[in-house]
């Protein structure tokens, strides 16, 4: 009789642990249009959309760049966001160090992580005249 109750208790614990481990992070898709400009200190702003579980969530972006920044550009980025549980996990501050040059049309790719662990893997095109070797921060909010 004692063995049956111990086995039952062990089964309850295993089922509870299985329920905890079944919750896993998901992914969505993001598209952003970012306008950037500056001279030594630069700024950026734009908008976009998060597609997550069949719904669209409008996004706003803004940021600062410091280092060698010269010119202006428009960047269109698309890609996936992973390690999110809710749409709000995309919101936050993303930091990066980067360098690049765009004269006319160029290609851009970037991987960013925010404080919640969301990972953006984006690529796209950049149009304009821009030279940069800088540290940058990008804030994304859900509108």
User: Which structure tokens are listed for 143?
Assistant: 């509108």
pLDDT at 23 over 70: no
In this prediction, residues 68-88 reach a mean pLDDT of: 93
Residue 9 lies in a domain: no
Alpha carbon distance 118, 28 (integer Å): 10
Q: Count of domains in the chain?
A: 1
Alpha carbon distance 23, 16 (integer Å): 12
Residue 81 lies in a domain: yes
Nearest to 43 by CA among 142, 136, 111, 141: 136
State the pLDDT at residue 60: 97
pLDDT confidence tier of residue 32, bands split at 50, 70 and 90: very high
Residue 30 lies in a domain: yes
More confident residue, 58 or 110: 58
Residue 129 lies in a domain: yes
Nearest to 99 by CA among 127, 125, 136: 136
Residue 90 lies in a domain: yes
pLDDT confidence tier of residue 121, bands split at 50, 70 and 90: very high
Residue 53 lies in a domain: yes
pTM, rounded to two decimals: 0.76
Q: Which domain does 74 fall in, by range? A: 25-142
Residue 6 lies in a domain: no
State the pLDDT at residue 20: 47
CATH number of the domain at 74, please.
Answer: 2.40.128
Residue 10 lies in a domain: no
């Amino acid at each position: 009789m004692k063995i049956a109750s111990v086995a039952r208790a062990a089964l309850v614990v295993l089922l509870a642990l299985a329920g905890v481990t079944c919750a896993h992070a998901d992914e969505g898709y993001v598209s952003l249009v970012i306008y950037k400009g500056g001279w030594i200190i630069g700024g950026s702003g734009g908008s976009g959309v998060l597609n997550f579980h069949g719904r669209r969530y409008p996004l706003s972006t803004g940021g600062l760049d410091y280092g060698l920044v010269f010119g202006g550009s428009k960047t269109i980025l698309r890609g996936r966001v992973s390690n999110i549980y809710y749409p709000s996990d995309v919101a936050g501050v993303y930091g990066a160090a980067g360098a690049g040059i765009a004269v006319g049309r160029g290609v851009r790719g970037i991987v960013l992580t925010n404080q919640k662990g969301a990972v953006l893997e984006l690529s796209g095109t950049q149009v304009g005249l821009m030279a940069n070797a800088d540290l940058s921060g990008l804030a994304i909010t859900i509108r």
